[in-house]
Amino acid sequence: MTPVPLRRSLVRQSRAVAGAAACGLALLAAAACTSGGARSAGTRGGATPDVAVLAAPRVMQYRRVVMIEQYRHGTNTVELEIPGGVMDPQETDPVAAGQRELREETGYEGTGARIIGRIFPNPAIQSNTCHTLLVRACELRHPTEFDHSEDIHVRLVPVEHIPDLIASGRIRHALVVVALTHFLMLRPEGSAAP
C-alpha cells in the first residue's frame, strides 16, 4: 500500500471521528516554527523558536478556533492540530512567521496577532522555544499553499469542545495541547473569568 492512499484513508476515518467529537461542526487552528539548528533528539542545535497560532474566525470570535487535520508520518496518524511549521531562514519574527503559516495552511488571515505564551518543548535535548500566538477576527481570504509533503484539511472547532477533545485523546500533539491551554487560560479583557 502506498503512503498516499493510506493518508487518504486515515483522513476519511479522522473526519468521521472529528465530526462526532465536534457535533458536526468543522475544526480549524494555526502554528509556525523557526529553525536555527539541528532538531534531532541526540543533537543540541541552535535556538529554534517555534510558533503556535490560534486563530479565531471573525464571525464567531473566541467561539471557534481554526484548526487542521494533518497526516503525521512519525505516528502514522491524522492529528487534529493548530497550523504550524518551521520559520524560514530569512524570518526573524515569530509573529510574522505564524501569520504566514496560518495563511499557507488554512487560507485564513486575521488581525491583532500577539504572543500569548512561550515554552521550551524539550529543554533536555533541544534549545528551541515555542511561541504561542493568538490571531483574532480571522477570515478566509487566500487559497492554501501546502508544502509538497503536506496533507491538510481545515476545521473550525468550537472553543467549548477543546477540553473534551484533549481529554478524549482526539487532540494529542503536545505542543498543540500547551498552545490550547495558553488560549483557554486567557481572560477576556475587563473580565475576571476565562
pLDDT score at 189: 56
> Could you tell me if residue 46 is left (phi over 0), alpha (psi between -120 and 50 degrees) or otherwise beta?
beta
Query: Domain limits of the chain?
Result: 3-185
Three-state DSSP at 131 gives strand
Residues in the chain with pLDDT < 70?
Answer: 1-62, 187-194
pLDDT score at 126: 87
Task: List pLDDT tens digits, range 132-185.
Answer: 898 888 889 998 888 777 789 999 999 899 999 999 999 999 999 999 998 888
Calpha distance 105→187 (Å, rounded) = 28
C-alpha torsion sign, points 89, 90, 96, 102: negative
pLDDT score at 78: 95
- Are 115 and 131 in contact, with CB atoms under 8 Å apart? yes
Single pTM value for the model: 0.71
> Could you tell me if residue 23 is left (phi over 0), alpha (psi between -120 and 50 degrees) or otherwise beta?
left
pLDDT score at 187: 61
pLDDT score at 57: 61
What CATH topology corresponds to 3-185?
Nucleoside Triphosphate Pyrophosphohydrolase (3.90.79)
Q: Could you identify the residue written with the cell 480571522? A: 138
